[in-house]
A = this chain, B = another copy of it.
Amino acid sequence: MTKFNEQLLTPPSGFPDLTPREAIATQRVLDVIRKHYEMAGFLPIETSLVERTEVLTAKSEGEIGTQIYGLRLLNPAEGAPTDEKSLALRFDQTVPLARFVAANYGRLSFPFRRYVMGPVFRGERPKAGRFRQFTQADIDTLGNETLDVLHDAEVIATIAHIFAELNIGDFTLRINNRKILEGVLEVHEVKSTDIGGAIAVIDRAEKVPLQETIKDLNAFGENVKAESWIEKILSPRSTDDTLAFLKMISEKQNKENLTTGYNELSRVINGLRSLNVAEKNFTIDLSIARGLSYYTGTVFETRLEAHPEIGSIASGGRYENLVGTYVNKSIPGVGASIGVTRLVNKLIEAGVIETNTTSIAPVVVLSPSGEARGADYLALAQEVRTTGIACETYLVSRALGKQLEYANKRGFRFAIIAGENEFDNQSVIVKDLKTGEQSSIPRSDIAVYFATH
C-alpha cells in the first residue's frame, strides 16, 4: 500500500470542498431560497449541466465566451460516444432556460415561472476566493407575448423575502428601469448608438468622483452638459420623492422611454408594497443599470448595508428579447439570480452566517454497555426518530466519559444514556448537553421529554 500523493488530495483551485459545517450552512440558505421560490409559485425544471456547444456559444456575452468548458473523453474505448466536441458545461442558468422554453414552447403554460438551484461553470483564472464552479439559484417568469411588469415586482419581492428570512442584516434592493436612463440620455441628445456606453458610465458613477462621470458623459456630445442634471439623477431620495421627480420630468419632456420607464417603475414599486416588502429594504437608485446588455426595463441589485464590499448579493431584471430568439416568438421575461456560493462564502467570512453546527440531529444515543447491547441502542435511536427527531448513534467501545466528550465536541443538544440498569427498568437517562442537567425518565416518555425540552 503506497501512500497517495497528498497534494492531489486538495481540490483544484476554484472547486473547493465544503465540510459538514459549511455544507449545513449552505443547505440552510438553499432551503430558505427554495421555500420562498415555491411559495410564490415558481416551479422546478431540470436541465442537464451539459448543453450543446452551439447553444452556449450563441448566447455568451463578452469574456464568458472564453470561459466555457467543453468535455472530452479522457480514455475512450472502442465504440465510445463521438459527440464530445458538441458538449459543454453551462455557464449560467438563463441560456439553458431559454433553450428549454424554446424546445417546450407548445407544452408550457404561460406566464411560466421556473426556479433552478444548481451549479454553473466558468473557466476563470484561478485566484483566491474565485470559483470555477458555483451554485446559482435563479427565478424567471416568462410571458407569451406580454408580461405585466407586476411580475418584475413579484421577482424582486421574492428575493426580498428570502433575505429578510435569512436574517443577514440590513439589505437594500436598489431598483431602476433602464428605459428611464435611456430617456434621460435622449433628452440630453446622446445618440442612440452611444446610449449603451453612456449608461455604462452612469452605472459605475458610484465608484468614481462626480467630475469624472460628468467628463465621461460630456464626451458623448456637446449638448450633453451632464453637470446640469447628473447630480439630480444620482442623489438619493425617498422612494416617493424619486417617483414624484420622475413624474415631473416625464410629463415635462414627454419622451416615450421616459414615460414608459416611469410608469413601469411606479407599477413595480406599487407591487412591492402590495407584496409587503418593507420600505427600508428597497430604494429607487437611478444609477443602477446592470452590465448585461439583454436587460431592457426593470433592473435591480441588492446591497448588504453592513458589508457593501461584498457587492450585489442578488440581481436581475427584465429582458424582452432573450428567450424568443430561439423560437422566433416574443417571450418577454424577468428574472433574478442569487450567487449562492459566493454569497455564503462571503457571509461566512464576515461572520454573518455561523458555521458552528456540525450535527443536524439534535440527539445522540451513546453506548455505555458496549457492543453486546449494540442492537438495543439502534432500537433506542429508532424510538427517538419515530417521534420525528433526527438521532445519531455512537457505537464505539469507549468509556462513557469519552463518549460524552465526543457528544459535546460534535455539538449535540442531548445525549441518551442507557446502561444495564436502564435496560432492566425500561428507562433512559437524557443529558441536556447545554445545561449539563440529567434526567432519568421512563423510556415510554422519550417523546414527551423532547416535546417539552
- A binding-site residues for B, Cβ under 8 Å: 1, 3-5, 8-20, 22-24, 26-27, 38-41, 43-55, 57-58, 63, 65-77, 79-81, 83-84, 86-89, 99-100, 102-104, 107, 109-111, 113-114, 119, 121, 123-126, 132-133, 143, 146, 148, 150-151, 153-154, 157, 267, 270-271, 273-276, 325-328, 358-361, 364, 371, 374-376, 378-379, 381-382, 385-386, 390-396, 406, 409-410
Contacts and interface: CB of A to CB of B under 8 A. Distances in A.
Given A50-B15, A72-B70, A80-B125, A393 B154 contact: yes
Contacts of A79: 125
8 contacts: A12-B86, A17-B46, A20-B43, A23-B44, A23-B46, A38-B360, A109-B409, A148-B395
A419 B13 CA distance: 58
B271 A375 contact: yes
Given A49-B119, A126-B81, A9 B69 contact: no
A57 B150 CA distance: 52
Given A11-B51, A84-B123, A325-B1, A17 B41 contact: no
A15 B48 contact: yes
A125 B81 contact: yes
Contact of A45 (B17, B53, B267, B276): B17
Given A72-B69, A393-B41, A50 B274 contact: no
B361 A104 contact: no
A24 B260 CA distance: 38
A382 B327 contact: no
Contact of A40 (B41, B74, B150, B392): B392
A133 B75 contact: no
A11 B361 CA distance: 40
Contacts of A38: 360-361, 390
A27 B43 CA distance: 11
Q: What 5 A-B pairs come out closest when comparing CB atoms?
A: A41-B392, A15-B48, A18-B46, A66-B77, A274-B379
A344 to B, nearest CB: 10
A113 B50 CA distance: 30
A19 B39 contact: no
A328 B410 contact: no
Given A4-B326, A81-B124, A47 B17 contact: yes
B48 A276 contact: no
A361 B35 CA distance: 11
B267 A102 contact: no
Contacts of A150: 374-375, 378, 393, 395
Contact of A123 (B43, B73, B360): B73
B111 A9 contact: no
Nearest to A58: B4
A26 B43 contact: no
A73 B74 contact: no
Nearest to A99: B9
Given A15-B87, A38-B360, A69-B73, 14 more contacts: A4-B326, A9-B55, A17-B46, A20-B43, A38-B361, A40-B390, A41-B360, A69-B72, A81-B123, A111-B396, A148-B395, A274-B378, A276-B379, A276-B382
Contact of A133 (B50, B84, B124): B50
Contacts of A391: 39-41
